[in-house]
Every structure is written in structure tokens, then in C-alpha cells.
Chain A
Amino acid sequence: MQVVVDKDVCLGAGNCVRTAPDVFDQDEEGFVELLDDNPPSELDEDLLLARRLCPARAITVNEA
């Protein structure tokens, strides 16, 4: 799945980093950084959970 993040709305809660640490990281100020915009399918479940848990709705997952 294709992942896109919106750093401008990110609030730094860090749920994505806890849920899928191979895909998401945080910069020095705590805002989201994408490590992998097309992660392997075994991470699909984690990605969908990260999207659901993101309080700022900063994560978009394209299920193409």
C-alpha cells in the first residue's frame, strides 16, 4: 500500500511510530517522517491501524 503523510497537520502524538516503526519516524521537533512510502504487504494491518489511531488524520493510505 502507498502511504502519504501530511507533516503540516501532524501533532506529534507518535501513535504511528509506535504502531509501525519501520514506516514512520519523527523529526527533532516530533513531527512525522516517512521512512517507507510503499511498505511490504505484511505491514498492511499496522498501516491501517496507524491511520485509524492518528489523532490529526495526517496519514493517507492508498489501498491500490
Chain B
Amino acid sequence: MARAPVCPFSPPPALRGLQAQAPLAKVRLWDGRTAWLVTRQADQRALLGDPRISRDTERPGYPHASVAARERGTVGRTFIGMDDPEHTRLRRMVTGRFAIKRVEAQRPAIQRIVDGLIDRMLAGPKPVDLVQAFALPVPSLVICELLGVPYADHDFFQANSRVLVNRESSAEAAREANGKLLVYLDRLIAEKLADPADDLLSELATGHVKTGELSRREAAVMGVLLLLAGHETTANMIALGTLTLLEHPDQLAALRDADDPKLIAGAVEELLRYLSIIHSGLRRVALADIEIGQQTIRAGDGVVMAIDAGNRDEQAFADPERLDLQRDAGGHMAFGFGVHQCLGQPLARVELQVVYGTLYRRIPSLRLATDLEHVPFKHDGAIYGVYELPVTW
């Protein structure tokens, strides 16, 4: 569905129409099949928390988002594409590094990364593309440190990640990009087995591969997921969030002057709600007949939860179209819901809190160096954002 040209921050108007008139609607997918499109937040929450709903990307009725996503759901399948008990068994191997206290302990290191990149931007030429100079390097540096991936290889893994998250990539291109990343991660895991360091890949290698619980390939597939999920999402929230704030100068001013970390944390939640960058829907397949609303979802039916619409549902949030950094947006589902809810959310939160709490304060005159209509939005992306954001100060 197309977004309205006048409002690049909002879900497509057709989605909002469905929300009002047919909150559970049968829609046709790119491959000709049909699936249920769910647009109300309460229905989404109920379905995502329902054990009769499957995330198994190998089930015949699974509604893949694109040919590239289908490819990743088979050759790159790991716990996010599995049901319990396999899902929980694998996911629990990597939860430790994302525990709140351990992520909080990284806050000073994240602050140093953010300050260092801002120093370099201020010392360099302007205008500058905020995506390349800041939005992408912040989460890339952070996830590389956490996983134990050399940041020097970022051109390689960012280029291949871009192919995997583009809805228009062919199956061959997706398979090739995934294959290259797998070879790369497999080599890294072999290195960590021989010479472990204090990072997640070493923990995975010595704690689970060495013991035979996990094959090297399974560990490599998990590594690809964590590397990709670790920067494609937060990078888009940084760039798109900044653009949103520049378009809402009164809100930006309040955030810039805020001294209370709680206010900044609240602003992060509201921007997550307002932008909910996963615009291709959370996808599931029904394992049994499920009655919901006035409808029955049949066993085998595909289900697509449009969380961008759910996060703008007026039954869940008062005046949902308004960006209000002071509101309590805590009930948003930008990280999904149910057993597959985002593993990296504590890390994403700290990164965004540091970024939004630092960037506009250190560069108070930050502004767009082009017109909004010339900003290239990721209309072809599985994750919404901007390809470039020329800024000056």
C-alpha cells in the first residue's frame, strides 16, 4: 500500500481505512495468495500472544513478505522463524548480553561512540549525510563490539544486509548475500573457538558450539541475524527519528532542553510508537481455527499484523496522529509482542536514548539541507527509513 505523499511519517491511508471498517480483512499478497491483515492493536496483541499462531517460516501457509524474505526464511532460518520449543532453546543461548543491567553497563561506551561521531561530523565538511556519518555507524559500532565482529568489515556486511532487507531483491540476490554473510560469520566463529574473547560470538562458540548443542552453521546463522537486526533497525530509527523531530521543531526544542533522563526515555518510546519502522507487518500462520472479532481465522491461513497501523490505533492511544513526546507510549508494539518480541530492545532503547539525548544538544542548529520532498524514503524496504538525510548546522 502506498503512503500518502504529503505525509511520509504516517501509515498508508488505506490501512487506516481498513482499521475503521474491516479490522480483520482478507488481502492479496505479492505471490497471489491471500492472508488476513490485522490493523487493530488489541487484535494484534491477542494474536501475537496466542500459542495457536505460528512463526514457522517453513509452514506452507506462512505469508512471506517478499521473495527475498522467503529466501531468508529458508536458507537463513533461525529462532525468529521457528516455534517453541526450538525457538526458546536457541534464543535463550543469546539473551545474556541483552539483559538490562548488562546493556546499561554499556551506556558509557555508547555515549563515547556517539560523541566521537559527532566530533568528527563537526570537524568535517557540511552539509553531510547523517545516515552515513552517524545513523548507521552508531548501531554498527555498538553491535560489532557486542558480537565481536571487526567494524573494519562494515562496508561488506552493510552492503549485504541492504540486499536482505530490500523487498525488491531477487531470490538469487538474497541467497547470495545471505551466503556471503554466513561464510563470514562461520569463519569468525571458528576464530572465536580457537581464541575466545569477551563477546557474544565467543560465548556462543565456547558455551554452545564446543559442547555440541549447536552446530557451527546454526551459530553462524544466528550471528547473521544478530548483526543484521542490530544495525538495520536502530539506524533507521536514528535517521527517521531525527527527520521527524526536525519537522516538529517545538517537540525537538523540548527534548533538547530536557534534563530528565525519564523524559528522554519517554520520547524514545513515543518515537518508536509514532514511526514503528517495521512497515511490512509481523507475519504468522494459524495452527488452528481462531475466532477473533466477528471473524474466524482458519487453520493454515496466513496472518499479517500491521503494527504501524496498530501503533496509531485510536482505541489504544488518544489522538494517535499527534507526535507527543510527553505522552505515555509504553503500550506500543514497535518491538512486536509474544514470544518473538525483539531480543535487542534493551540495547535499542539505550542507543536511542543516548542519541536523542546528545545529538540535538551538541548540534542545536541541526537542520535539513534539502526539502522534505527530496529526501529519499525507503518505500522499497522491509524496514522503513530514509536512504540519505542531508543535514547542516
The B interface, classified by DSSP as helix, strand, loop or mixed, is: loop
Cα–Cα distance between A57 and B338 once the two chains are bound (Å): 8
Q: How would residues 3 to 22 of chain A score, 1 for a CB under 8 Å from any chain B CB and 0 otherwise?
A: 00000010111110111000
Cβ 8 A contact of A13, one of B88, B101, B330, B343:
B343
- Which chain B residues lie closer than 8 Å to A63 at the CB level? none
Chain A proximity of B279: nearest CB distance (Å): 21
Cβ 8 A contact of A12, one of B98, B335, B340:
B98
> B100 at interface (Cβ–Cβ under 8 A)?
yes
Given A55-B49, A57-B49, the answer on whether A13 and B99 have CB atoms closer than 8 Å is no
Most buried by A among B100, B102, B335, B345: B100
> B339 at interface (Cβ–Cβ under 8 A)?
yes
- Whether B343 lies near A26 (C-beta < 8 A) is no
Within 8 A of A (CB), among B95-120: 95-102
Cα–Cα distance between A11 and B340 once the two chains are bound (Å): 9
> B337 at interface (Cβ–Cβ under 8 A)?
yes
Cβ 8 A contact of A29, one of B96, B335, B338, B340:
B96
Q: How would residues 76 to 109 of chain B score, 1 for a CB under 8 Å from any chain A CB and 0 otherwise?
A: 0000000000001001100111111110000000
> A56 at interface (Cβ–Cβ under 8 A)?
yes
Within 8 A of B (CB), among A1-53: 9, 11-15, 17-19, 25-31, 49, 53
- Whether B96 lies near A28 (C-beta < 8 A) is yes
Cα–Cα distance between A29 and B98 once the two chains are bound (Å): 9
- Whether B338 lies near A55 (C-beta < 8 A) is yes
Q: Interface size (A, Cβ < 8 Å)?
A: 21
Select from chain B the residue with minimum beta-carbon distance to A24: B100
- Whether A14 lies near B100 (C-beta < 8 A) is yes
Select from chain A the residue with minimum beta-carbon distance to B91: A11
Cα–Cα distance between A13 and B330 once the two chains are bound (Å): 14
- Whether B341 lies near A11 (C-beta < 8 A) is yes
- Whether B345 lies near A14 (C-beta < 8 A) is yes
- Whether A29 lies near B49 (C-beta < 8 A) is no
Chain B proximity of A54: nearest CB distance (Å): 9
Within 8 A of A (CB), among B330-368: 330-331, 335-343, 345-346
The 6 nearest A-B residue pairs measured at CB = A12-B95, A30-B99, A30-B95, A55-B341, A29-B96, A26-B99
Query: Which residues of B line the A interface, CB within 8 A?
Result: 49, 88, 91-92, 95-102, 330-331, 335-343, 345-346
